[in-house]
Structure 1
């Protein structure tokens, strides 16, 4: 009995593809819970916890890099089946790993297969007709999953143990495997509508855009990795910290909905700049002393609202610059660089539980991404306007 395929432009196709792209490195969405589990119930130090998630991220970088050379040469569905199945086995096997050195290597391996899934997933999302909706849906799912897991994981850990977070990772991968049979086939390379931008300018703008994505992800993931410990370090009750992160994470849904609903009708640049400014304010609020529960919640709300909006708009620009999906796969790589480097940077700037230096560094890093993004986003908006005008002439 054959499974009925979902049409390519159906909302469920966008949802399923975005969910599968998310599942490869799903731990990023509830990173504070992973860090808290490693540094709490599993007995690793704060610095060791940051290094484990950093190695997991660098494995994602390796996998996404390999995917750059695969996306134009392979059929994405058989490859995704294989890599998801291997990732599920590794995530489940982590339940029996308790040695620090083994944990580092095992999570690096998990990151490698997860990165392959993410890289292939990004290339498929980029080939859909509406990249703003595709990547907005991806970020919408990421923040929904993050809030749900952060809220429910403490109860699950109390019922099972601190390793429950790795069971959650495996569950998302298994669900992705269940979605795969319903997805339509897509061509390996969609070469429609090459950019009218001169090649040197295209290369320059692509480089600036990749740097902007990397720099923003470094700062965001650095704050995200330690936001739970920042709250605990300010003597905020642990239950209040978990509830606050979960509740404010729901604002990420609103940020992700901006490109899903509005697309690029009102331009992307203003949304990106506004999101970066809100991210800077968030890092500065978290650095204040004393950090009150109100300041803590406000800071997280600003970050969680702006993060998905900024990333989805930048990824949509990437998809429009190269419809084959390869540049979007490169964006997955540089995003992995940022997500892996953020916790590593944060762990190197910790000072015996003092997060001030780390947060100031994150604020400056956010700000630098704002300057990097100006030229490529403006150029792509201009190119898109010219192409649209030529179609009606």
Structure 2
């Protein structure tokens, strides 16, 4: 969507960067605000209010005519979107099978995004800029309506099940490992994601082909989020995280060596798939071992932190090295996360605990 208001307002590259950074800042504030509000406020008015804020911000974006107003609206949109997303994640965390629940949520999110991109392109071609931007407001309006259907009794007052001090300590260790793994896995993929287009161009691919390859690869990446949904917790979470990490390494290598269209599509599809799988498994590991909900409420703080830190680390490496070094180093945080999971999964089991399985 950024490209739409960039063209409409004739923004320069520096202004585009600032608008994107401000919207990301709104997401960070939303993640922190949601962390504080979810245990204190009923979830129905919280998700309805957040969706309303995002819907209004996107509706006004359709008619904005200045940089300052655009920046304020995108900040509000990012904030509302993140609070609504965090409440949705807390709802999924209460499922008896969080692997399957997070997988289903991510699959639905991927499919809705694919439909949204198609709808926005169609509206832009047939009805113009304002109608295309308003479709985003309509999407948040749908979230608002769904939020109204939630029970008013839902809130973040988790109750810890009876457990021995030993089992409580082991479960918290698993929850912390899941959260740390989410940050590390996010760092790995965010270090290289913003450079995929540049690498494709360097390998001889055309700009138009790259755009199509990204669209097709992201759509194919829906398969990755469907794997936790189909497999659930029966596939041994530690083993599935190992498969996800191996897929990440393969996807990064394939993207680096891709010199034709279909190889690049395959690389994007693999990376999108393993990103969804990593999100589902690390979120589930955190939620299942977090009876108080404290670490579960922090999962999107972890996600936005990795989104901000990954490109920054890569940019720092590029100050004194080649982009090939970034691609070579990027899997290391994910591999370290896997080692942490393996250590927790191999710890002595305590009655009442639920580890990486």
TM range (shorter): 0.7 to 0.9
| Cα distance in 2, alignment partners of residues 304 and 85 from structure 1 | 29
Aligned residue pairs, count: 351
Q: Once the two structures are superposed, what CA deviation does each residue of 1:148-185 show, in whole Å capped at 9, x if it has no partner?
A: 34445444333345666643432221111121233344
1:320, CA displacement in angstroms?
Answer: 0.8
Structure 1 distance, partners of 2:124, 2:199, is 21
Contact 1:61 1:334 survives alignment (8 Å): no
- Which residue, 324, 337, 344 being the options, matches 1:372? 337
Task: Measure how far apart 1:232 and its partner are.
Answer: 6.1
Deviations 1:335-354 (A, max 9, x none): 12223444566677789xxx
Q: Is the 8 A contact 1:232 1:238 kept in 2?
A: yes
Within 5 Å, which residues of 2 pair with 1:240-389? 240-288=209-257, 291-342=259-310, 357=322, 360-361=325-326, 364-376=329-341, 379=344, 386-387=351-352
Match for residue 17 of structure 1? none
8 Å Cα contact 2:192/2:327 also seen in 1: yes
Q: Distance in 2 between matches of 1:40 and 1:348?
A: 30
- Find the aligned partners of 1:47 and 1:274 in 2 and give their Cα distance: 40
Query: Shift in Å at residue 39 of structure 1?
Result: 6.0
Alignment map for 1:207-218 (pairs within 5 Å): 207-218=176-187
Partner of 2:134: 167
Quote the Cα distance in structure 1 between the aligned partners of 2:17 and 2:322: 16
TM-score using structure 2 length: 0.81
Q: Distance in 1 between matches of 2:6 and 2:223?
A: 31
1:74 deviation in Å?
1.4
Report the CA distance shift for 1:77/1:115 in structure 2 as closer, same or farther (over 3 A). Answer: same
Residue number in structure 2 paired with 1:10:
none
Separation of aligned partners in 1, 2:135 and 2:192: 22
Match of 1:29 in 2: none
The 3 A distance-change label for structure 1 pair 386 and 44 is farther
Where does residue 146 of structure 2 map in the other structure? Answer: 179
Match of 1:91 in 2: 58
Q: Shift in Å at residue 96 of structure 1?
A: 3.2
Q: 1:207: Cα distance to partner?
A: 4.2
Residue 117 of structure 1: CA displacement? 1.8
Return closer, same or farther for 1:61/1:199 CA change in 2, 3 Å cut-off.
farther
Using the TM superposition, name which of 271-280 and 156-165 deviates more.
156-165
**C-alpha distance in 1 between matches for 2:315 and 2:6:** 12
What secondary structure sits across from 1:96 in the alignment? coil
Q: Is the 8 A contact 2:107 2:226 kept in 1?
A: yes
Q: Between the two structures, name the one with larger relative contact order (CA 8 Å, sep ≥ 6).
A: 1
Instruction: Tell whether the 8 Å contact from 1:35 to 1:50 is kept in structure 2 after alignment.
Output: no
State whether residues 223 and 359 of structure 1, in contact with CA within 8 Å, keep that contact through their aligned partners in structure 2. Answer: no
The alpha-carbon deviation at position 143 of structure 1 amounts to 1.9
Helix, strand or coil for the counterpart of 1:278?
A: helix
**In structure 2, C-alpha distance between the alignment counterparts of 1:95 and 1:46, rounded to whole Å:** 20
Deviations 1:200-236 (A, max 9, x none): 6655554443332123224434554565566567664
TM-score by length of 1: 0.75
Report the counterpart of residue 64 of structure 1 in structure 2: 31
**Structure 2: unaligned runs, 5 residues or longer:** none
3-state secondary structure, aligned to 2:235:
coil
Matches within 5 A, 1:104-123: 104-123=71-90
In the TM superposition, what is the alpha-carbon distance from 1:47 to its structure 2 partner?
5.9
Aligned to 2:104: 137
Q: 1:231 to 1:368 in 2, by over 3 A?
A: same
Measured after TM superposition, the shift of residue 92 of structure 1 is 1.5
- 1:179 is paired with a residue of what secondary structure? helix
Aligned residue in 1 for 2:158: 190
Post-superposition shift, 1:133? Answer: 1.8
